[in-house]
């Protein structure tokens, strides 16, 4: 019964077809069920933009064949789950400009606040690390101005570190970003 119900849920392909036909709104798919993403608070929006900018500049400074993307793209996890990270970085051959799907991010960033409604960014950790390409999952916490860095090393071990300031070294792809650059100026 449960298996049958699951089969009747929306697949990622059907979700993308449906979502791209909507006149407005952004969505995520979790276990075949669609979740609308709420309008963001200013703190979220600023942190997201600044984090994207920090990654873009860091990638350019190193001249790496990688790109930082803002939200709007969807990252499939399995046949019936697909998320939309706030920022992601992928490397390699440029993508088809018409694609909406990113399957091989090396870095995924979610900006969050403890009280924001939305899919729990902490529990997304296990899903994002299902992607073989993923080396870093960053949580940018607008409540505390702190970045949690989950780094999967070559042996598959995940190291978690909590950063209030200083530099974050992300290898691969071999870049450094300033933690302070991810947050709007206080005041």
Q: Which is nearer to its own copies, 90 or 145 (CB)?
A: 145
Q: How far is the CB of 125 from its own copies (least distance, A)?
A: 6
Q: Which is nearer to its own copies, 59 or 147 (CB)?
A: 147
Structure tokens at 169: 């070294």
Cβ distance to its own copies smaller for residue 7 or 99: 7
Q: CB atoms < 10 A from the CB of 124, how many? A: 22
Determine the Cα–Cα distance for residues 107 and 114; give it in Å rounded to an integer. Answer: 22
Nearest CA-CA partner of 79 in 160, 4, 166, 13:
13
In the bound complex, what is the minimum distance in angstroms from residue 65's beta carbon to its own copies? 29
CB of 135 to its own copies, least distance (A): 13
What are the b/e assignments for 44-76, b being 16+ CB within 10 Å?
bebbbbbbbbbbbebbeeeeeebbbbbbebbbb
Residues found near its own copies in the complex (CB under 8 A): 1, 30-31, 33, 35, 112-117, 119-127, 129, 139, 141, 143-144, 146, 148, 150, 157-162, 186
- The residue (of 122 and 166) whose beta carbon lies closer to its own copies is 122
Q: How far is the CB of 160 from its own copies (least distance, A)?
A: 4
Classify residue 155 by burial, with Cβ atoms within 10 Å: 0-12, 13-18, 19+: exposed
């Amino acid at each position: 019964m449960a298996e049958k119900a699951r089969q009747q849920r929306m697949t990622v392909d059907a979700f993308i077809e449906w979502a791209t036909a909507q006149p407005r709104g952004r969505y995520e798919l979790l276990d075949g069920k669609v979740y609308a993403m709420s309008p963001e608070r200013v703190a979220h929006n600023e942190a997201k933009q600044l984090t994207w900018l920090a990654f873009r500049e860091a990638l350019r400074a190193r001249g790496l064949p990688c790109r930082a993307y803002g939200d709007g793209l969807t990252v499939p996890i399995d046949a019936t789950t697909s998320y939309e990270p706030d920022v992601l970085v992928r490397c390699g051959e440029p993508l088809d400009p018409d694609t909406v799907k990113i399957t091989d991010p090396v870095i995924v960033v979610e900006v969050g606040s403890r009280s924001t409604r939305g899919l729990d960014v902490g529990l997304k950790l296990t899903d994002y690390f299902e992607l073989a390409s993923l080396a870093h999952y960053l949580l940018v916490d607008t409540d505390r101005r702190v970045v949690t860095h989950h780094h999967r090393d070559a042996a598959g071990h995940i190291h978690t570190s909590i950063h209030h300031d200083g530099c974050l070294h992300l290898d691969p792809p071999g870049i450094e970003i300033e933690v302070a650059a991810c947050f709007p100026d206080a005041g």
